[in-house]
Structure 1
């Protein structure tokens, strides 16, 4: 396989607020901004671009693979901030994490209402 994921645009109600949220939770690096984009870079050279779209947008799902230590730090931030979170995508197990696929996972909403999933083991 030669294809590698390079970047995505994440629709944002407030691009700066979204970038700050993701920078803190994912421990991402700032990247140069241009045009309507506030940019961050995560592992593998993947660029996250935050921008306000010209129309309403449906919530999307973004999943991030974290190592165990990073998951612990991220989960501590989630609980310290009192952010709603769930062990499942149906949001029926509030305030919990899951232990699926041999690791841990948690779901929460970002400031623009997108579904964010943090996991410690890939599904495959």
Structure 2
């Protein structure tokens, strides 16, 4: 049996703003509404379902993207004045080149540590 990731709930102080931020930065379609959630759909139908909460614990969400998408995300973040980092602890500004690809970390408005990578970890020679 194949196991496929389907969805996760992302708690945020403003679910519409949080979902819109992620969709905009990643170049995804506008979030949709499903029940109490604002939904951002990624590849293979998996989704991040944003829900408003006063109790937000920052989480880490990583996205595998192409090199061209990486350039576009980097530009969108730069245009918004959002600093990117080469490491999850936000110690080195910029991006990394792990596994022969590129990766960078940045914060969402509510403090989630978001990551985009162009190669899965462990895939390099």
Q: TM-score, normalised by structure 1?
A: 0.91
* C-alpha displacement of 1:3: 0.5
* C-alpha displacement of 1:57: 2.6
**Is the 8 Å Cα contact of residues 19 and 31 (structure 2) preserved in structure 1?**
no
Aligned residues: 122
Alignment-derived partner of residue 22 in structure 1 = 22
**Structure 1 spans left out of the alignment, 5+ residues:** none
* C-alpha displacement of 1:58: 1.5
Tell me the C-alpha RMSD between the 2 structures.
Answer: 1.4
- Rounded Cα–Cα distance in structure 2 between residues aligned with 1:24 and 1:31: 9
Alignment-derived partner of residue 79 in structure 1 = 78
Q: Runs in 1 of length 4+ with deviation above 3 angstroms?
A: none
1:4-47: CA deviation from partner (whole Å, max 9, x where unpaired): 00011111111111111111112223464133201121111111
**Is the 8 Å Cα contact of residues 86 and 103 (structure 2) preserved in structure 1?**
yes
Higher strand share: 1
Distance 1:89 1:32, change over 3 A: closer
Q: TM-score, normalised by structure 2?
A: 0.90
**Structure 2 spans left out of the alignment, 5+ residues:** none
**In structure 2, the residue corresponding to 1:74 is in which secondary structure?**
helix
- Rounded Cα–Cα distance in structure 1 between residues aligned with 2:57 and 2:31: 26
1:72-121: CA deviation from partner (whole Å, max 9, x where unpaired): 00001111111022111111112x11111110011000011100001000
